[in-house]
Amino acid sequence: MDSETQSAATTPAGEEKPRRRAGFIGLVQSHSNEFMISMAVHAAVFFLISLIPVKKEPEQAKTTMIIEQAPPEEKVQEIKQITDVKVRDVPVEVVDDNTEVVEKEVNVENPVETTAISEVVDAVQDNAVLAGTSDNANSPPAILGVGAGNPGANGGLPYGYKSRSKAGKMGAMKKHGGAGTESTVDLALRWLAEHQEYDGSWDQVKYEGKYPGTKGPATGLALLAFLGAGYSENVGPFKKTVRKGIAWLNQAVSEKPKEKPQIDGNYGSAIILMALSEASIFGSKPITKDNANNIAQMFVDQFTGTAWRYFDGNDQDQSVSGWIALSLKSGKAAGLYALQSEKAHTIFDKYKDWVVMMTPESTGRGKYSNIPGDGGSPHMTWVGMFQRQFLGFPKNDPFLTKASENTLQWVNTNEWIGGEKLGDCYGIYYGTLATFQQQGAVWKGWNVKMKDSLLKTQRKGDPKLLGGSWDPTIGLVAENGGRVMMTALMCLCLEVYYRYELMN
């Protein structure tokens, strides 16, 4: 054992630490210059390394969240019957058929690029529409349609309604000259949605209407504007609005006697029947179809072989009869069983004879009533044209030909459309329906002025105020129905390109 080893072995434990510290201090003191230089170099290196930027992996931002209460309607897109959906590697969580998936903005330092959920929903809906409907005719359609009874490229929709799908709307607007109307229709629907009452109805008196009756016709007409654009209780950004409106109508009809569920006379009942029938076509609850059926049965029971009037089957009024006949046609498309009876099957054949009497081919002017001395008017000419068209008369029908010539003359006066102000909205509505179905020169002449006039006269700005609405014009419908019915009718005019397909 050498001296150092022996010294270490005999050194008491308490003295070892001071000796080690003294050894380290001595080492530093003996190499002080080299040590200080080394420390300075290492410090400089570490400082330089700290300045080098480190690229962080972008955080994955989930763009969905599951909610229990529906957010504002325009933010919600419902996805049904789909699983394993991805948006550019951003997972979308789908729990069940009742789950509502909402696009949510997430703030991260380096957000990933995403595709809007609404685009995915649109694609899914279009694919579902193209795929058809359920094999079970009694089950509600997945997206659009009325079940397996009407298979086809647009989800089983009956003929006349197929162009209301998203793909159908785009093609129809391009084909029929509707470019530039989308934002106007959207703003009008937003105004209607903003001014729906808490209970689901629309109040015409609250917005400049003078008619003190119930809110039934205004509610029905407002709903037709949403349904006309292909938006239902199940599809589109206004699901909650439509759902509440249909629920209000169902309640109003259910409170009436089953054999006579009349609301605001035959006018109001016809408008409500159209709304309930179209809602049924697009997959509403069974009660909607039941209530529509009760109204349709009332009209069948009223029919005496000619036409209808305000409260019964008296044959003095082509205006109210036109609404009723079209509502029954909508009911047939919805498959109402009231229209499958033997009497119902004969109604349109007998009604067609009455329409011919009210639309004389010699003058091309439709009459309001069969009272002697009624020489016809533009309003009733367009009502008569549209009735002949949906009853199956060809475009070269003598009345339709002569009425089209008259219409071009009336358009040139700028009394209805084309002037500084809009004319009677009732005439504009039926004129738009009739000229679209007729096509040709009369449609081209009408469409240019109609579209230009409606786009210019719509109120701009916030839909919570007046933005999206139209000021009530002259005529009983605008005066009695106020801003609500005026806006609904003008919105329907701008939906004409896809609302109904060409019928003859």
Indicate if the pLDDT at residue 441 is higher than 90: yes
b/e code 296-311 from CB counts within 10 Å (16+ = b): bbbbbebbeebbbbee
Question: Over the chain, what is the mean pLDDT?
Answer: 78
Condensed to tens digits (0 to 9), the pLDDT of residues 58-111 reads 443 333 322 234 444 444 344 333 333 333 333 333 333 343 433 333 333 333
Q: What does DSSP say about strands 90-92 and 85-87: parallel, antiparallel, or unpaired?
A: antiparallel
Report whether pLDDT(41) > 80.
no
At position 197, the amino acid (one-letter code) is: E
Could you tell me if 143 and 80 are in contact, meaning their C-beta atoms sit under 8 angstroms apart?
A: yes
Quote helix, strand, coil % in the chain, to nearest 5.
55, 5, 40
Contacts of 266 (CB under 8 A, 6+ apart): 299, 302, 308, 309, 310, 311, 312, 320, 323, 324
Q: Are the CB atoms for 227 and 245 separated by under 8 Å?
A: no
pLDDT at 38 over 80: no
Name which of 68-82, 130-144, 289-303 the model is least confident about.
Answer: 130-144
Q: What is the pLDDT of residue 106?
A: 34
Q: Kindly report the backbone phi and psi dihedral angles of residue 253, in degrees, each rounded to the nearest multiple of 5, phi listed first.
A: -70, -40
CB 493 within 8 A of CB 473: no
Given a cut of 60, whether residue 40 has pLDDT beyond it is: no
Q: Terminal CA-to-CA distance of the chain, rounded, Å?
A: 121
Exposure on the CB side of residue 478, measured as CA atoms within 13 A? 19
**pLDDT of amino acid 212:** 84
* Per-residue pLDDT at 416 exceeds 90: yes
Q: Which amino acid is at 111?
A: P
> Residue 65 pairs with which residues in a beta bridge?
102
Overall average pLDDT of the 302-320 stretch: 91
Task: Convert the pLDDT of each residue in 370-395 to its tens digit.
Answer: 888 888 999 999 999 999 999 999 99
For residues 464-470, give the mean pLDDT: 98
- With bands split at pLDDT 50, 70 and 90, how would you rate the model's confidence at 128? very low
Rounded to whole angstroms, the Cα distance separating 12 from 57 reads: 57
Say how far apart CA 298 and CA 311 lie, in whole Å: 11
Amino acid found at 425: C
Res. 258: pLDDT tops 80: yes
Task: Tell me the HSE value of 414 on the side-chain side, using a 13 A CA sphere.
Answer: 6
Q: Are strands 64-66 and 100-103 parallel, antiparallel or unpaired?
A: antiparallel
Pairing of strands 76-78, 85-87: unpaired
- Output 496 or 36, whichever has higher pLDDT: 496
pLDDT, one tens digit per residue, over 158-202 is 888 989 988 889 999 999 999 999 999 999 999 999 999 999 999
Q: What is the DSSP string of 17-70?
A: HHHHHHHHHHHHHHTHHHHHHHHHHHHHHHHHHHHS--PPPPPP---EEE-SS-
d(C-alpha 438, C-alpha 79), whole Å: 39
Q: Which residues pair with 101 in a beta bridge?
A: 66, 77
pLDDT (mean) for 450-455: 98
Q: What is the pLDDT of residue 50?
A: 54
Check whether 335 has a pLDDT greater than 60.
yes
What are the CA-CA distances from residue 258 to residues 11, 209, 478 (Å)?
A: 113, 29, 31
Give the pLDDT of residue 313. Answer: 87
Q: How far, in Å, are 237, 260, 325, 459, 478 from residue 466 at the CA level?
A: 20, 37, 34, 6, 16
Q: Is residue 229 classed exposed, middle or buried when 0-12, 13-18 and 19+ CB atoms within 10 A define those classes? A: buried
For residue range 471-501, what is the model confidence (pLDDT) as tens digits?
A: 999 999 999 999 999 999 999 999 999 999 9
Q: How far apart are CA 466 and CA 471, in angstroms?
A: 9
Residues 188, 491: contact at Cβ < 8 Å?
yes
Among 53-67, 233-247, 257-271, 454-468, the minimum mean pLDDT is found in: 53-67
Residues in the chain: 504
CB 144: neighbour CB atoms within 10 A? 26
Distances (CA, A) of 244 to 23, 65, 201, 236, 285: 89, 25, 8, 14, 12
The single-letter code of the amino acid at 87 is: V
Q: State the DSSP H helix or E strand holding residue 86, giving kind and residue range, or none if neither.
A: strand 85-87
Does pTM surpass 0.85?
no
The closest of 71, 67, 93 to 82, measured between CA atoms, is: 93
Residue 248 has a pLDDT of: 98
- Can you list the alpha helix ranges (DSSP code H) found in 336-421? 342-358, 378-390, 398-412
Mean pLDDT over 134-143 rounds to 30
